[in-house]
Structures are given as C-alpha cells and as structure tokens.
Amino acid sequence: MEQINEIENLVKKIISENNDFIPLEITLKMKSMLLSSNIIEMLQYHYSLLKLRGNKDLYYDVRAAFKERPKEIIEAFLLQKLAAEKDVSLKADVVQLLGNIRSTKILPYAIQNIKSEIRDIRYRCIIVVGWVGSKENLPILNERLLNEPDDELRGYAATAMRQIWFKKKATAEDILPYLYAAIVRENNVETLAMIIIVIQDLLKRKFGMQERIDDGTITGDAIKAKQKIIKALLLK
C-alpha cells in the first residue's frame, strides 16, 4: 500500500535524525497519513509502530493517534489484539488504548488483572478502572490503595478514584472515607502527595499541596499536609 510506504519513509527519517523533539508539522503529517484509512492493513501497520519505543515523542504520537479513529472500528480491532497479544508491553498499551477510547468492554479485564505480577499491567489496569469505572469499582481501587506494593501505584489508585469523581460516577462522600483511611497509614511521601491532592480536590480545601495542571507535578510538604488533615478532620 503506497500510503503505508510513505509513512514508513517518514518514520525512518524521524528515527534516523534521532531528535528528542519532533517538529509539529512532521507530527501532523504522520498523523494525517495514519488516519487517512481504516482498512485492516493500515490498522495493523499503525499497531506495529507501537513497537518503536526508542523515540519517545514518536511512540507517544503514534499511541495518541488511535484515539482519533472511529470508536466502532478501533474498539473491535483492539479487543482482538487484547485476546491475542503475547508481548507484555503491547498488551499493556492495548489496555490503555481501550481505556483512552472509554470502552467499557475493557473493564472486566482491568478488574481481573489489577493484581497482575507485571507492574505495567497493574498500572494500566488501575488507571483504566478510573477512566471507565464507577462507584461500584471503588472497593477494587481501595484494595490497591491499601495493599499495592508499589508506592507510585498506590498513589495512582487514589487519582483513579478522582477520575471516577470527575465523571460524576461517584460523589466525594463515596470516595473520601477510603482516602482518609489510607492517609492515616501511608508513610511514603510521594504516595501521600497523590492522596492529599485528591483529598484537596474533593473537599475543595487546601492543606499545603499544589498540583501543576500541565504536567501533574506535585509540590509541597506531604508530611505536614498529612498532619494538618488528620488534625483538621479528627482522623484516627
């Protein structure tokens, strides 16, 4: 297919130049060509580009472009890949991509594999439950909030609860008891910071932590903020 050959040449050019930043016009050109067709050959080629992880900008641009395909086409394609894919990194991408298009069909897989031995699978499952889950799935995220061995992923369990709140699939009152119990027992500073940011958002009240909207960076003294919350809310 001539269009695929053109994209392949452009991708080779991007890789050969080995730039940390891909110019916007190149990104837009590649995306336009990728999305010009939804025939199976183009979908398969698009999917194959996810293996090119050496250039992060290229990888993220390729992955993001899936969301712009018609949901009724790409959902079925990705569900087939989920069932057949053996490569763990690609399977993790498929989980996230199905979450990106808000496919509720990925929810059973995410729930079943949220305790996977593979960290990347656990991570994608946690965030996807946040994206497509609802109030009924809060206990699943709470179990990860309390028992997930990875410090960062415990924090993501809290922010996944916030995603459910953002979608108005659960209220602050549904979520806050889980966060209060977690903050009392949590000692990791980075995890605490993520939990506290969610508590601040849900309460619409500041306890000394700040989150940058553009990149999610959290600043502030998490230990002091924890003490403020425990004192102000009379937590035990």
pLDDT higher than threshold 80 for residue 1: no
The pLDDT of residue 171 is: 97
Mean pLDDT of the chain: 94
Q: What is the mean pLDDT of residues 42-47?
A: 97
* Cα–Cα distance, 131 to 128 (Å, whole number): 5
Report, in angstroms and rounded to the nearest whole number, the Rg of the chain calculated over CA atoms: 20
Q: Domain-by-domain residue ranges, the chain?
A: 1-69
pLDDT one-digit tens code per residue, 160-192 = 999 999 999 999 999 999 999 999 999 999 999
The pLDDT of residue 3 is: 85
pLDDT higher than threshold 80 for residue 59: yes
Backbone angles phi, psi at 219, to 5 degrees: -125, 160
Q: What is the mean pLDDT of residues 32-50?
A: 96
pLDDT one-digit tens code per residue, 67-106 = 999 999 999 999 999 999 999 999 999 999 999 999 999 9
pLDDT one-digit tens code per residue, 106-126 = 999 999 999 999 999 999 999
